Structures are given as C-alpha cells and as structure tokens.
C-alpha cells in the first residue's frame, strides 16, 4: 500500500527559484507528486499548522517566516514515502544534514531550512487534510 506525506517548499527556497530542483529530488527518488499548489499562509494559518510547536522558543519566528512569502505545498506518494522524504530532506539543521540532502544543499539555517516533511502517518494525514481536499489529490496508483 503506497503511503502519502505532505511536503512544503518553504519561502526562502521558493524566493530563490528552487521549486524545480527540489521537486526533481522527489521524482528522482521515485516519489510521485500527486497534488501541488502555491500558497501564501496568513500568520494565523501558519500558527495553526505549527500548533504542535506552540511552546517552543522559535514558534513566533517560525510562523512569521512561514507566512512571509509563497510556499509550494505538495503531496508525495510512494512506498515508505514519509521516511523516504525525511531522508531526502536531511536533518533539521542544514549544517548537520548529510551531503546531497535538500537541506544540506539549499538550507540557509536551522529555521530557514528549505523544506518541511511530515514525520509520522498520523501527522501526514492531518497535514495533508490541512491543505488538500480528497478530490484535489490524484492517486498515482489507479
Ligand atoms: P523538522 O522540520 O525537521 O521536522 P521540527 O523539530 O519539527 O523539525 O521543527 C519544525 C521547524 O521549526 C523546522 O523545520 C525549522 O524550520 C524550525 N526549527 C526547529 N528547530 C529550530 C531552532 O532551534 N531554531 C529555529 N527554528 C527551528
Ligand atoms: Mg517536524
């Protein structure tokens, strides 16, 4: 059974014209892009999306950053998509991320780290539903 995960190309990467290169990384790894949309989050929407981090010291800065410009939200589908995407992304801090990962190649710092990816099946389902209606997702396995 193919798995789905939510990916976000964050404002710093969209602003630097990296959408194409980053989506290519997912495709090269065999993940299917089954939904995609350019979105500008309000501060309230960013606060809702990252509510799990509301008690962290970086919550205010993170949500301001995530609402500072357009983002590319997408749903990736494939075997083990959640873990595979996390591996392609690399560690949260680009300085700690493995070579050739998206964050190592294009992340600016621990906050402006180019991409978001769901971390578990439950969060993936919630995050996908935050941005997409079921009929906006085209299964690659029909
Ligand atoms: P993840 O994106 O690798 O899953 P999380 O711990 O879930 O990392 O943090 C969510 C986002 O919050 C990160 O991607 C990054 O943008 C930001 N963030 C995490 N830790 C820090 C920090 O120590 N300082 C500033 N921003 C941070
Ligand atoms: Mg996370």
Mean pLDDT of the chain: 97
Mean pLDDT, range 119-139, rounded to an integer: 97
- Is 53 known to be catalytic? no
Q: Which atom of ligand 1 is nearest to the CA of 66?
A: 16
Distance 134 CA to ligand 1 centre (A): 28
Would you state the pLDDT for residue 140? 76
Q: Token digits for 86?
A: 């996390």
CA-based nearest residue to 53, from 98, 1, 7, 119: 119
Containing H/E element for 65? helix 59-66
In this predicted structure, the answer to whether residue 132 has a pLDDT above a threshold of 80 is yes
Domains of the chain by range and CATH? 2-133 (3.30.70.141)
Q: Are 101 and 110 in contact (CB under 8 A)?
A: no
Residue 16: which pLDDT band, with cuts at 50, 70 and 90? very high
Distance 116 CA to ligand 2 centre (A): 7
Q: How far is CA 131 from the centre of its chain?
A: 12
The pTM (predicted TM-score) of the whole model is 0.97
> What would the pLDDT profile of 26-55 be if each residue is shown by its tens digit?
999 999 999 999 999 999 999 999 999 999
């Amino acid at each position: 059974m193919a798995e789905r995960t939510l990916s976000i190309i964050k404002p710093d990467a969209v602003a630097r014209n990296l959408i194409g290169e980053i989506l290519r990384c997912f495709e090269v790894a065999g993940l299917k892009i089954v939904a995609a949309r350019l979105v500008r989050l309000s501060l309230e929407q960013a606060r809702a999306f990252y509510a799990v981090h509301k008690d962290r010291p970086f919550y205010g800065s993170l949500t301001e950053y995530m609402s500072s410009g357009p983002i590319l939200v997408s749903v990736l589908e494939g075997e083990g998509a959640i873990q595979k995407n996390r591996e392609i992304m690399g560690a949260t801090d680009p300085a700690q991320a493995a070579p050739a990962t998206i964050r190592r190649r294009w992340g600016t710092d621990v906050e402006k780290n180019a991409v978001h990816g769901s971390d578990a099946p439950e969060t993936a389902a919630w995050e996908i539903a935050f941005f997409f209606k079921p009929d906006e997702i085209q299964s690659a396995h029909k």
